[in-house]
Amino acid sequence: MSQRRIKYREAIAEATVQSMDRDESIFVMGESADDPLGIFGTTRLAFEKFGEHRVFDVPLSENALTGWGTGAAISGMKPLMVHQRNDFLLLALDQVINHAAKWKYIHGRSVPWTIRAIIGKRWGQAAQHSQALQALFAHVPGLKVVLPASPYDAKGLLAASLFDDSPVICLEHRGLYETMGVVPEEYYEVPLGVAKLVRTGKDVTVVAISEMVSQAQIAAEKLSDMGVDAEIIDLRCVRPLDLDVLVTSVKKTGHLISCDVGWTQFGISAEVVCCVAERAHEFLKKAPVRIGLPDCPTPCSYALEEVYYPDNQDIVAAAAKLFSLAVKDKCDRSQQEKSGVADFVGPF
């Protein structure tokens, strides 16, 4: 297989075209899906090849069109719907949660339906355009939720999603679109629900999703210089969740740091800690650590964003605390809320 390198967004575009070549029932719908510059260029190749018959723009009516896509899936088509922000999916929760997710359970018919949605970050996008809502969707039986962290997985997971019998929500982080990686030219699929061992290590297990995977890799290099050997696991899919690889790693390392791109409370990081504690608590040498967003909406201020979003420094600080090592942290998370983030948006 070839070893050429392409961008994350190019991998998505390629997966779309190759999947549409394989199955004529796949079509793409979304706001600006027919615009060469729309949706970060991820639908341009498909529109150029298949035209407006199979790739088309839709009005700003998220709930109606998501319901229409669900109906198309129930009728035997394979719609690929693109929401330019995952926040906009909140306008279509009835169609997603009460219809698509439950249709097979109630009626016994598959719903091969994929939604791509984008997680925003920075650029002053603030509280209504930068949420990461994977925990909300993963809470619902009947849905599958994937978060590709690399160009290779962006192509393989989207292809697998398009040929899955269940409704799948594929959440793409805006900060990853320009990242480069090795992606085979050939069509391939990455199985849903199978985590990826990104880096082997013996001292601490760092579980991450989406953009936090790259931050974990940076942190691992810094920790290596401090004498800490970190093992990194990319969940890739948060529903279904690959628990076996998590438990196996924690049994080896005895320490767990769980990283999310969403809120820490009631989030994916909490679910990971809970599942590991239920299955391997006797192997944990210290209490697990969760890393994610503080308990408040996203601020608009660039200065506050720098404090609000977790990064590799937070992972390094968490690991250093586990092993009683001295490290200069950018800002203690408990102090962040006291020194501006939570105060800026008010009490919650």
Active site residues: 62, 129
Closest among 293, 273, 283 to 341, alpha carbons compared:
293
CA angle 155, 156, 161 (to 5 degrees): 100
Classified as helix, coil or strand, 265 is coil
- Sort residue 200 into left (φ over 0), alpha (ψ -120 to 50) or beta: beta
Single-letter amino acid code for the residue at 58: V
Q: Are strands 196-199 and 230-234 parallel, antiparallel or unpaired?
A: antiparallel
- Residues 6 or more apart in contact with residue 156 via CB below 8 angstroms: 15, 188, 189, 190
Q: Tell me the helix, strand and coil percentages in the chain, rounded to 5.
A: 45, 20, 40
Q: Are 92 and 126 in contact (CB under 8 A)?
A: no
Token pair of 271 as six digits? 């679910």
CA–CA dist 218, 311 (Å, integer): 9
**Chain centroid offset of residue 220 CA:** 20
Alpha-carbon distance values, 128 to 210, 292, 343 (Å): 20, 18, 18
Q: Are strands 114-119 and 196-199 parallel, antiparallel or unpaired?
A: unpaired
Closest among 94, 95, 105, 39 to 66, alpha carbons compared:
95
Task: State the first-to-last Cα distance of the chain, in angstroms, to the nearest integer.
Answer: 52
